[in-house]
Structure 1
Amino acid sequence: MEWKQIPLGPLQTNCYILWNDRNKCLIIDPGAEGEKLVNWLNENKLEPLAILLTHAHFDHIGAVDTVRDTYNIPVYIHENESNWLTDPGLNGSGLFGMGNIQTRPAETVFTSEKTVTIDDFTLALFETPGHSPGSLSYYVQSEGIVFAGDTLFMGSIGRSDLPGGNHEQLLSSIHEHLLTLPEDTRVLPGHGPTTTVGNEMDGNPFLNGF
């Protein structure tokens, strides 16, 4: 499989495309610039199967309906943030003066950790709250990658000062679900460059002493 990081929107939120050798793909966090994203998918002759959301903050959901309607595909989200998609007050767009960003409800709502299979894509679903109450991380063991959303970054961790955030819960999520992965696992965050589990174990100042 192959993957591509595409920063989108004013906050340069990382959207990820994961595709197989049949050019079928999953889309993680289409945050903004829906037409740009659709054009890239079409230019690369990819066939989207689903949209997976790590969480429902406005900068991760802005292009959801454009992509969903273009390809007639389902959206997946955790139940703790399922109502954030339709509510600018919950998803933060109102709080940050970004206008009223909202989408229609998701077709599939996760209620627990599980293994998800879509076509021949298999992802382990981890509940990693702390940045937000419904934050998810998607681990693709066969590829040695984890889509971590805004939970863990290169040299940093996600904010926990937004509504529904919890610092201790965030640290627990990182240590229990992400740092227990093989050290060469590549962490694909919601913003900024990729990193590895090993690099963050060794050098992330926010994780020392926990």
Structure 2
Amino acid sequence: MALQFHSVPVTPFQQNCTLLWCDDSLRAAVVDPGGDIERILAAVEERGLKLEKILLTHGHLDHVGGTAPLARQLDIPVEGPNKEDQFWIEQITTQAQMFGFPPVETFTPDRWLEDGDTVTVGDETLEVVHCPGHTPGHVIFFHRPSNLALVGDVLFNGSIGRTDFPKSDHQALIDSITKKLWPLGDAVRFVPGHGPMSTFGQERQTNPFVADKRFG
């Protein structure tokens, strides 16, 4: 398979920071570097990868907290999330204080992402799907050739993202999952923002929040 991945749990929230890399070139992207950048860089070095960009699903602290120092240290661009999450990134210092995290720096992504955009990792291309609800600017990354999605905090194994934050929207989240994720196919494996992987088909059968029987 041409696209490989490896998740590194970071921060006290055990957020799944994921390395994506192209087998042919060993060029890589890191998705949601929430913190613990030494651990992320160790995983990059261990695999002999060249990190060329940072991809972000949304603006919450545990997903973006390590972005500014990592981008500066490696001089790499930041792509994502959708601009609707700009307010979260601008408030990152306040988020850190609220959750008892060490001080973190704010930043401005080099590229805001829209529904239907694509991003590249080495020679591989991933589709961008805007999936609001957990946050208004949340995006997911889908690699169609390998049926792999990185869904951030939209969907989990057995659960869904929280919608008790400013500008969260529970119905929008349900719509994002059922109208944007499910059509990608039951066979799609996904890496959630926290916890173990699953497939869309498994969640359609058993997830108490979005299983098909709830809407049948």
Question: Given the two structures, how large is their TM-score scaled by the length of structure 1?
Answer: 0.93
Contact kept in structure 1, 2:190 and 2:197, CA below 8 Å: yes
Query: 1:182, 1:197 within 8 Å by CA — same for their partners in 2?
Result: yes
**Alpha-carbon distance, 1:118 to partner:** 4.7
* Secondary structure in structure 2 of the residue aligned to 1:85: helix
Confirm or deny that 1:38 pairs with 2:38. Answer: no
2:7 maps to 1:5:
yes
- Is 1:81 paired with 2:70? no
Partner of 2:132: 129
RMSD (Å), alpha carbons = 1.7
Structure 1 residue 199 displacement after superposition: 0.3
TM superposition outliers: structure 1 runs of 4+ over 6 Å = none
For residue 17 of structure 1, give the secondary structure of its aligned residue in structure 2: strand
User: Where do 1:1-210 residues align within 5 Å?
Assistant: 1-21=3-23, 22-77=25-80, 78-88=82-92, 92-98=95-101, 100-208=103-211, 209-210=214-215
Matches of 1:88 and 1:69, distance apart in 2: 17
Q: Going by fraction, where is helix more abundant, 1 or 2?
A: 2
Percent identity over paired residues: 34
Q: Deviations along 1:122-179, whole A, 9 cap, x unmatched?
A: 1111000100011101100011100000000000000001111110000000001111
CA contact (8 A) 1:147 1:188 kept: yes
Query: How many residue pairs end up in the alignment?
Result: 209
Query: C-alpha distance in 1, partners of 2:27/2:102?
Result: 33
| Whole-angstrom distance in 2 between the partners of 1:6 and 1:124 | 22
8 Å contact kept, 2:187–2:200? yes
For 2:72 and 2:155, the matched residues in 1 are separated by 31
One-letter identity of the residue aligned with 2:132: P
